[in-house]
Structure 1
């Protein structure tokens, strides 16, 4: 493919193919390019966010298990936006509500603690995976949208061949090239989206498992304190 800046109708440079394509193919190409840009914005943003969550979660857990006073640690971390901090805050809040009265139902407290922290884990996981469905959609749909542009472009080329009664490569080459270029753009949008979706889904699952392990550990700590209550 010629990557020069020749914009003549017979040029096969990407920009020329886009400019001289049929209007329907242009719409398909433009939509796929927008989807590709959107995909890369999500990829870059999600990579930074998930990486930061993994690092800060490890530090939070380390600081928590070293802390001697849970109440003091809660006061320090209560306003944190970290997913693990939200799980921790849900556990502390439920603990305080359930043990505020004179009589404590130990089994009921344990069940409510598990429910509260489990709900927090689910909510934070949903937030982390919020835009991954866009990657999945682009990854699955973009190749077919590109294929539609290709089919439409080839149909237009055959119509032009019939009108001109000329089947030379000079006549049909640019039309076929622009049609196939639509498929190429579709794959260009889809391949990174699929790879990123699979990778980020794995990372979200890892973070969810880590949050669940933290919730289980914190639940055990509170259960031991519950046993000490008279």
Structure 2
């Protein structure tokens, strides 16, 4: 009984498996490690992005001037929110540097800022979604690859059983267990990848929505400045 039990541990099941099944198990193990690397990387990055976004939004809502906050962020910030602020303020300063703005010039400025912010949001959305394809592939394909390994292993197991001419449980169980082990590995790779893919897809959507909301706030702030600028120009006339 001790010998039979030892045959059921994962190492023994792998060592006794067919060469094709071994290759499938190794491939699934590599896919699982790859997906876990993506999961850990995404968890760290999303935590950092959201933490920095919260701090920056708190600074913007503190009542300080946007120019002061932009200066504090530096000329080339890594986070997209301060980059969006720099884009809006840079376009605003360039437009105001040419003198008072007419209504048409103000509309053109708003359209230019809108396009620039949309372009940045699109790039950032692609960046935060990078790697999710790996999780999707692992989640959807691993169970089927593991099932193929199981079917292949069972076919070979029945062949060995037929050659031995012995169909009692002690003969059948280890051979079937070797085959089913491939499906178990496939599920072990697929389940975390599936859960993480759905979670990070939702997180990516929320972060993109956060960028879009901040872009709307920036455009509203510029529009208020334009209203004051156009009003001042009309009074001068």
Instruction: Verify same fold: TM over 0.5.
Output: yes
Residue aligning to 1:48 = 44
Q: TM-score, normalised by structure 1?
A: 0.89
- 1:218 equivalenced with 2:214 (yes/no): no
Q: Kindly report which structure 2 residues correspond to 1:1-230, keeping only aligned pairs within 5 A, or say none.
A: 11-66=7-62, 68-77=64-73, 78-102=75-99, 104=101, 105-229=105-229, 230=233
Structure with greater proportional helix content: 2
TM-score, normalising length from structure 2? 0.87
C-alpha RMSD of matched pairs (Å): 2.3
Answer with 1 or 2: which has the greater Rg. Answer: 2
Deviations 1:148-195 (A, max 9, x none): 110110011122123333323232222210110100110001111111
* 1:9/1:20 contact within 8 Å kept: no
Q: Give distance in 1, aligned partners of 2:213 and 2:143.
A: 39
Shift of 1:67: 5.0
Q: 33-42 or 97-106: which moved more? A: 97-106
Deviates more, 1:182-191 or 1:71-80: 71-80
Q: Distance in 1 between matches of 2:86 and 2:39?
A: 30
| Range that drifts further, 167-176 or 99-108 | 99-108
- Return 5+ residue gaps in structure 2 as ranges: none
How far apart, in 1, do the equivalents of 2:14 and 2:32 lie?
A: 16
